[in-house]
Chains A and B, each alone.
Chain A
Amino acid sequence: MSDHPYLIIDSHLDLGFCAIQINRDITQPAATVRVHDAESTMRGFGSCTTTFHELHKGHVGIVFGTVMSRIDPNDEWTRTGMWDQTQCHGIGMGHYAVYKAMERIGVVRQIHTSKDLDDMVTAWQNPKADTPIGLVLAMESADPSLDPEQVPYWYDLGLRLVSISHYGVSSYCHGTGTEGGLLDRGRPLLDALKEAGIIVDLTHTTDQAFWEILDYYDGPVAASHHNCRALVPGQRQLTDDMIKAIVERGGVFGTALDAWMLDPDWQREKPAWAQTTKATLESVADQIDHIAQLVGNANHSGIGSDLDGGFGQEQSPRDLNTIADLQQLPEIFKRRGYSETDIQNITSGNWVRLLKTVWGKI
């Protein structure tokens, strides 16, 4: 580990889901949660890596925490997939309430504005044991927003980044694993997001929807947890053209740490417990390096780990035990010859720049 820890921003964590669906006490060390999980009725979400305790330990001082529920009638597994948007709204508000409950006990401070963001960045220059984790509210699949008219309500709650689809087909758009583009309700939703000043997250769009959104929507964009198709094939990853298109719009990428998005040999049809990934934190650096080489600078990459987003340590880079190990990444970049400025941009600076550009001075 480096002699001084870097502030790390993680642009995609499903912490609300971990709390209310997996029933984890996300204030505890991962080791404690692992013991709890073994006796839990809700097994099947992998070995815990991510809690506020571990985030603090790894100086992951600012995170994007999701509200996650989608139309997906057959989702008996996570129980966040639903038949109707009224149910998605309920689950989504539950995830938001997790963050409010964490804020009440001082573990979290929600970030709404550039000033909030600056305050958290400053606090994490010299963090104390009780320095809260800054949290930007994000939404994975826009189904919890009952209609475009509800977007301002969500904005007031702090929502600042939305992917309008997830797996399957949302009420607004085709998502990962399907073929198709924006649905009729998608464009009015994009109008409302533009009006509110919410970043559109292009992660989990189909290829067709990706380009349709970029054509239609001229507001800010990003890809919160997304890797490169040149390194790992599949619709879930971004082609080089997509990467360039996002960069042209000033967007930022979060590199995902799910083993199947890092390791082209990972077999999705095989259980995670029946294979060992060759992905390591070096593979994470490879993804970031690919984008840097493609666009000629390191001003667009970040970390959007998605750790504990339905998988655990067994499906993460094999040298990662908990999310605190993200702090090993700066050393890897140093060895690869990245400048101090580049490393700071990757770990936090690029996301800070994007958010402040979108939010202005307030």
Chain B
Amino acid sequence: MPPILIIDGHLDMAFNALFYRRDLTRPVMELRNREDSVRGGISSHPDSLERRKGPQTKHFTPTVALPDMRKGRVGMMLSTIMVRVQDPHDNTHNAVRTQAIAYARGQSHLAYYKALEHKGEITFIKSITQLDACVRSWESPTDTTPIGLILSMESADPILGPDQVGEWHGAGLRSVSLTHFGANTYGHGTGTVGGLYPPAYALMDALAETDIAIDLSHASDLSFWQIMNYWKGPVHASHCTCRALVPGQRHLTDDMIKAITDRGGVIGMVFAEQMLSPAWNWDDPRTHYTTATRPMKAVLEHMDHICNLTGNTDHVAFGTDLDGGFGLELSPTDYNTIDDLQCFLDIMRAHGYNENDVAKFAHGNLIRFFKSNWS
């Protein structure tokens, strides 16, 4: 089948550009070569001699860059501002010590997207008009068609207070996850057992004044239900899989899936070993490992499960999280670069999904979700 428009509902592009220092305007294969050459390369800063180097960070092989997205017609994305307040001991360095630092890192991510827009590489999508225009531009794309960006935020720590919500909305923010890993400013996220902190309610009140959706992907179980009880606005899970199939609090229970989809929410399918393998338990680090075992087809198990629960194909989408703190090593075994997402659509077809279902999964459901929330 010819390629169709894909919207990826969860990518961490700015984090990759500013922490892993990837120039995402270059193809993935070039990024891989560059990263091989950098290891052992000498910075022009003379203090960066070996004695000065911090501990080596783990290296993950990149799979996502803008030219490869164009090649695979991944013409639109939700991409994050990603930084959280948490004891900074983790190896991906997106946990910071204070909310002021989180705000500044978040602003650096926003500024990177703006610089990409300045260069014509991407275009911000803030309205239905812009969304429709972007969809149209991808009906007959060229090598330079800008990729549409709906700005999202993974952990709300960069929002310094309810009074700042308007500023972030003006900048393009349309989806916020209140928490991420650990206990953050607004509440408990993945891997913890607490709920929301009091500032979360004032923040939600301010968010309710806008058309920003709440992303439940990284809520702890208690936070999840506290949000669902208090928040009347749009909800979705940008990148989640099913706890009925894989163990750990990171995944959605059937009740959670029903609660989200009953309110019109869409659930993004993650293309990562740690989300697809029953052998990997999020709540038990002893089960974590470094090489993928599962192919893209494993994503179908989760998609089927959600579609069976809801009785339709209206609530599933891509939310791959590719390169989101991992790389090729933990991506599906038959996946190499992001243009391979088109192959996944063929896997869906072979599995019996009709063309209408495929189109809904590839882009239709996310378009409907955002258009129904935006005025």
- Stretch in B12-20, B177-185, B264-272, B354-362 touching the partner: B12-20
Q: A74 to B38, Cβ gap below 8 A?
A: yes
Per-residue A-contact encoding for B309-352, CB less than 8 Å = 1, 0 else? 00000000000000000000000000000000000000000000
- Stretch in A17-25, A114-122, A183-191 touching the partner: A17-25
- Rounded to whole angstroms, the CA-CA distance of A44 and B89 in the bound complex is 15
User: Does B49 lie at the interface of the complex (its beta carbon under 8 Å from any beta carbon of A)?
Assistant: yes
User: Does B84 lie at the interface of the complex (its beta carbon under 8 Å from any beta carbon of A)?
Assistant: no
- Stretch in B101-109, B129-137, B220-228, B230-238 touching the partner: B101-109
Inter-chain contacts of B23 with A (CB < 8 A): 82-84, 86-87
Which of A23, A42, A45, A79 is close to B21, meaning CB atoms less than 8 Å apart?
A79
User: Does B47 lie at the interface of the complex (its beta carbon under 8 Å from any beta carbon of A)?
Assistant: yes
Which of A76, A86, A311 is close to B53, meaning CB atoms less than 8 Å apart?
A76
Q: B52 to A77, Cβ gap below 8 A?
A: yes
- Rounded to whole angstroms, the CA-CA distance of A85 and B42 in the bound complex is 20
Q: A94 to B34, Cβ gap below 8 A?
A: no
- Rounded to whole angstroms, the CA-CA distance of A140 and B263 in the bound complex is 50
Q: A77 to B45, Cβ gap below 8 A?
A: yes
Q: A168 to B17, Cβ gap below 8 A?
A: no
Which of A73, A79, A93, A98 is close to B101, meaning CB atoms less than 8 Å apart?
A98
CB within 8 Å for A39 and B111 given contacts A74-B38, A75-B45, A98-B100: no
Inter-chain contacts of B119 with A (CB < 8 A): 86, 146
Within 8 A of A (CB), among B44-90: 44-49, 51-55, 88-90
Q: A19 to B93, Cβ gap below 8 A?
A: no
Q: B21 to A75, Cβ gap below 8 A?
A: yes
User: Does A276 lie at the interface of the complex (its beta carbon under 8 Å from any beta carbon of B)?
Assistant: no
User: Does B160 lie at the interface of the complex (its beta carbon under 8 Å from any beta carbon of A)?
Assistant: yes
User: Does A268 lie at the interface of the complex (its beta carbon under 8 Å from any beta carbon of B)?
Assistant: yes
Size of the B side of the interface (Cβ < 8 Å), in residues, is 54
Per-residue B-contact encoding for A14-37, CB less than 8 Å = 1, 0 else? 001001100111010000000010
Closest to A150 in B: B118
User: Does A282 lie at the interface of the complex (its beta carbon under 8 Å from any beta carbon of B)?
Assistant: no
CB within 8 Å for A93 and B48 given contacts A23-B97, A76-B38, A86-B116: no
User: Does A97 lie at the interface of the complex (its beta carbon under 8 Å from any beta carbon of B)?
Assistant: yes
Inter-chain contacts of B39 with A (CB < 8 A): 76
Min CB distance A301 to B, Å, is 25
User: Does A223 lie at the interface of the complex (its beta carbon under 8 Å from any beta carbon of B)?
Assistant: no
CB within 8 Å for A42 and B41 given contacts A82-B21, A311-B47: no
Inter-chain contacts of A42 with B (CB < 8 A): 54, 88, 93
CB within 8 Å for A77 and B48 given contacts A41-B54, A94-B108, A146-B118: yes
Question: Chain A interface: which size bin?
Answer: 35 or more
Inter-chain contacts of B43 with A (CB < 8 A): 72, 74-78, 81, 167-168
User: Does A95 lie at the interface of the complex (its beta carbon under 8 Å from any beta carbon of B)?
Assistant: yes
Min CB distance B188 to A, Å, is 22
Q: A87 to B17, Cβ gap below 8 A?
A: yes
Min CB distance B98 to A, Å, is 5
User: Does A349 lie at the interface of the complex (its beta carbon under 8 Å from any beta carbon of B)?
Assistant: no
CB within 8 Å for A43 and B45 given contacts A83-B34, A87-B112, A90-B111: no
User: Does A105 lie at the interface of the complex (its beta carbon under 8 Å from any beta carbon of B)?
Assistant: yes
User: Does A199 lie at the interface of the complex (its beta carbon under 8 Å from any beta carbon of B)?
Assistant: no
Q: List 26 A-B contacts (CB under 8 A).
A: A20-B105, A23-B88, A27-B100, A42-B88, A44-B52, A44-B53, A44-B54, A73-B34, A74-B44, A76-B39, A76-B41, A76-B53, A77-B53, A78-B43, A79-B21, A84-B23, A89-B111, A89-B112, A93-B110, A97-B103, A101-B100, A168-B44, A168-B45, A169-B44, A271-B51, A311-B47
Q: Which residues of B contact A (CB under 8 A)?
A: 14, 17-19, 21-23, 25-26, 34, 38-39, 41-49, 51-55, 88-91, 93, 96-101, 103-112, 114-116, 118-119, 121, 160
Q: Which residues of A contact B (CB under 8 A)?
A: 16, 19-20, 23-25, 27, 36, 39-45, 72-79, 81-87, 89-98, 100-102, 104-105, 146, 167-169, 175, 177-178, 268-269, 271-273, 310-311
